[in-house]
Amino acid sequence: MNKAHRDMEIGLEIEFRSYEITQEKINVYSRYVFHGKDTKNIHTDDETAKRAGLPRALAQGRYPIGYISEVMLEFFGEGWIRGGKMDVALVKGIFPGDTITVKGKITEKIQEGDATRLILDVWLENQAGEKATAGTASGIVNAGAKKPCR
Amino acid sequence: MRKKFIYDNIQVGEELGRKEILITDEMIRTCANAIESAHPWYFEDSPFGGRIAPPTIFDNDTLSILDENYERFGSIHAKQAWEFKNPARLGKKVTLSVHVVDKYVKRERNYIIMELVAVDEDGVEICRGKHTSLMSLKKG
């Protein structure tokens, strides 16, 4: 994966990583939420989801947001842990069987002392090319993090 | 007794609750597994000195603290914002607090915005997360 550096050009688009969404992964996340317990909820059970007015069980919104954070951690490194920001809207449900890809585009650079904040549009795109989650993310690139020498 | 999770019962500025948690090995492993991450900083060592937790490790706590106060049948997570300020370190106690910072109606739908703040036992702020929920899911 590309690592963030201050010489990256505005407008650069990056396809970070794809994830397969399965019911089992959603169930694993649900067990994580409910401290190891199996529960019937709108994410794990189609009938419960339908009673709530949803077409079927869907992924928890915060679960794929975790994917964005992990990708940004790999991209920014320490500048995500200390200085990372994310603001996203969940615009379309993510369902078992979907393949979602974390994508981004560098839109702005801001100087913060000796460091540079890189701001990206980020989104989760499904296999149909639709944005399921979209917004912005930014992190800190330190002064020393220049483009790698060839 | 928990209140019903309806728009008029929610007060902007209301503290929904706070709790103290210990960042454990199990928490880190379970969270990392749930988001399919094998990042070495979670399992070995990090540049911050020791293992740290995934930055989004507190992502469930906003709703879990909400649910201690309100009887909620699901809700739709509409937006999420995070500011990560410092690492959540293995073995540290962290105090989480959640407040309602806004509520609004858009296209006849009710939304609330809750802010979680995480501060460790040394007084170091770890992160802030703003969770926007669409309140109304129907119950059959």
Rg for chain B, CA atoms, rounded: 16
Q: Quick one: tokens of B24?
A: 């454990």
For residue A143, is pLDDT > 60?
A: no
B63, B80, B90, B130, best to mutate vs chain A, most A CBs in 10 Å:
B80
pLDDT of residue B140: 40
A55-91 b/e (C-beta count within 10 Å ≥ 16 → b): eebbbbbbbbbbbbbbbbbbbbbbbbbebbbbebbbe
Residue carrying structure tokens 């293995």: B90
Check if CATH label 3.40.50.300 holds for domain A13-21+59-141: no
DSSP state of A92: S
| Minimal Cβ distance to B74: which of A42, A73, A80 | A42
Amino acid identity at A91: V
Span A40-89, pLDDT tens digits:
888 999 999 998 888 999 998 888 899 999 999 999 999 999 999 999 99
The DSSP element (H or E) to which A14 belongs, if any, is strand A13-20
pLDDT of residue A108: 97
Contact partners, residue B127, CB within 8 Å, separation at least 6: B55, B58, B82, B83, B84, B85, B86, B88, B116, B117, B118
Contacts of B36 in chain A (CB under 8 A): 19, 25, 67, 70
C-alpha angle with apex B74: B71 to B75, nearest 5 degrees?
A: 110
Contacts of A1 in chain B (CB under 8 A): none
Q: Please compute the mean of the pLDDT values over residues A80-105 and round it to a whole number.
A: 96
Question: What CA–CA distance (Å, rounded) separates A6 from A118?
Answer: 7
CATH architecture of B3-23+58-134: Roll (3.10)
Number of CB pairs, chain A paired with chain B, less than 8 A apart: 107
Q: With CB atoms and an 8 Å threshold, state whether B77 touches A86.
A: no
| Burial of A10 from C-beta contacts in 10 A (0-12 / 13-18 / 19+) | exposed
Question: What CA–CA distance (Å, rounded) separates A111 from B100?
Answer: 33
Contacts of B54 in chain A (CB under 8 A): 66, 69-70, 73
CA nearest to B81, candidates A88, A121, A137: A88
**Per-domain residue ranges for chain B?**
3-23+58-134
Question: What CA–CA distance (Å, rounded) separates B135 from B108?
Answer: 11
% of chain A beyond a pLDDT of 90: 69
Q: Please compute the mean of the pLDDT values over residues A28-38 and round it to a whole number.
A: 84
Residues of chain B with confidence (pLDDT) below 70: 137-140
For residue A144, is pLDDT > 60?
A: no
CA nearest to A146, candidates A4, A5, A1, A2: A5
**Per-domain residue ranges for chain A?**
13-21+59-141
pLDDT of residue B137: 57
